[in-house]
Amino acid sequence: MTASAPATWFVTGTSRGLGLELVKQLLDRGDNVTATTRSAERLYAGLAGADTSRLLALTVDLADEAQVRDAVRHTLDRFGAVDVVVNNAGYGYLAAIEELSDSAARQTFDIQVFGAWNVLRAVLPHLRARRRGHIVNISSILGLTTMPGWGLYSAGKFALEAMSEALAAEAADAGVKVTLVEPGYFRTDFLSTESLALPSATMDGYEPIRAMTRDHLALQGTQLGDPVRGVQAILELVDRGDGPLRQVLGSDAHAFASAKVESLRADLEKGKDLAMTTDFPQHL
C-alpha cells in the first residue's frame, strides 16, 4: 500500500454514511475502490466532484451469493487483486422483539450476517492465496451491548462479531488480518427514517420503546461522532496493520463498552459459586 502501488479496496454499503465517506477518502488518496451498493445513482450523487476513475461501482444484492461472487470477479478483472475488504452494509431496526416479523428479522440477517458471509466466502480464497490482506467488519457498539428496542440490530451485529473473532484466528496463519470496528453514534443519516426501519405495527406495553424511538430520531444531526474522523481512524488501522481485533470509535462507544465489561465481570463473580458446582467431583 505505497504511493507507487495503490491498494484495492472492496467495500459494501457505500451509498451513504460511513461507507460513502470511506469511498470519498479512498479515491482522494488514489486507491482503487470497488463499491457495492443497492443504488449506484445515489452513490455517484454522493461522490459529485470526486475523481471516480479508480472506482468500480457495482449494484449488488449481498444476499445473492452469485452476485457477490461476480462482484469479486469483476474487481479482480479490473484491478488484479484485492487488498482490503470492508463489510459495511446494514441498517438499523427499532422494535421490541415481540413486534418483529419473521420477514423483517430475515431481511436484517440477510444483509448484516449472510451478506457479509457471502463476501468472505468469495474473497478469502484470493486473500489466502496471496497470503496477505485485511478484512474490516463494521460492527457497532451494539455488537458488544444492547438495549430495549435494538434486539434485532444487535443480534445481527453480535453474530458478525462471533464470525469475525473466529475468522481472525482461522486466517492469521494465511497472513490475513481481521478487524472489528465498533462505532458509537456518528453524524450520518443512520438515525433518520431513511436508514432506520420501524415496525409496520406496534403493540401496547412497549411505550418506553416508542419514546426511545422518538428520542433517537431527534438525535439526528447532533451525534458526537464525526464521519470524516471516523473514516480517518479506519484508514489508520488498516495502514498500521497492528491494531486490536476490536476497535471502538467514539467516546460514547468507549463508555458503553466499558460499562459492558464491568457488567460482565459482575455477572461472572455473582455466578461463580454455582458454576463451580457443575463439574464432576475430583477425587484425590
Q: Quick check: 149 and 191 in contact, CB under 8 A?
A: no
Assess contact for 180 and 246: CB atoms under 8 A: yes
- The amino acid at residue 206 is Y
> What is the signed CA dihedral for 139, 144, 148, 154, rounded to 10 degrees?
40
Q: Residue 116: what are its φ and ψ, rounded to 5°?
A: -65, -40
Q: Cell numbers of 5, please?
A: 502501488
Tally: H helices and E strands in the chain: 9, 9
DSSP classification of residue 112 = I
Which residues participate in catalysis according to the annotation? 153
Closest CA to 153 of 170, 139, 164, 136: 139
Q: How far apart are CA 262 and CA 282, in angstroms?
A: 32
